[in-house]
Amino acid sequence: MEFIIEAGKLSDIDEIERLYNEMNDALEAGINYPGFKKGIYPVRENAVEGVEEGYLYVIRCDGRIAGSVILSHKPEEAYIAVAWNIECSYDKIIVIHTLAVHPDFVRKGIGHSLMNFAEQHARKQGMKAIRLDVYEKNYPAIRLYERCGYEYVETVDLGYADYGLPWYKLYEKVL
């Protein structure tokens, strides 16, 4: 399979929203490792904001959006009190948010390709590190991040306990 990764456009929003909805339907029907909830997260507004701010990227396969990721400089509030491996301001750090893969493309290397892209993108921009959070029971994603060289830093509460998601693991890759 050949993939193309590029910045998302406003014309992609409807297809990204379908990706989110179909992914959430598939997760609900199976094992919902990331704890995503249809209508709550991720939703169209996340994609619109990511595109408008220039942080959302899509991966295309055969003309379809197979996945997407948001690469911003915006940490979750809980990140601030954490003892990270490298200290620097968030203008030199990429934070990975909303890594999503369409159910038709699961286990085809989409997540790994997006993670590799995030690292290449961060290095080109002179970033010092990449950070992310992952629900503590999202075992497939944790395996992916660890295989990509991310180091576990700490487990924190991001404020989603009401949704049954009390603890998130924080990972970092120093570049």
30-64 pLDDT per residue, tens? 999 999 999 999 999 999 999 999 999 999 999 99
Q: Against a cut of 0.85, is the pTM above it?
A: yes
DSSP three-state, residue 110: helix
pLDDT per residue as tens digits for the range 138-158: 999 999 999 999 999 999 999
9 contacts 47 by C-beta, under 8 angstroms:
no
65 contacts 113 by C-beta, under 8 angstroms:
no
Residue 107 has pLDDT above 80, yes or no: yes
pLDDT per residue as tens digits for the range 10-27: 999 999 999 999 999 999
40 contacts 90 by C-beta, under 8 angstroms:
no
Give Dmax over CA atoms of the chain in angstroms.
Answer: 43
Output the pLDDT for position 153: 98
The structural domains of the chain, ordered by start, are 4-174 (3.40.630.30)
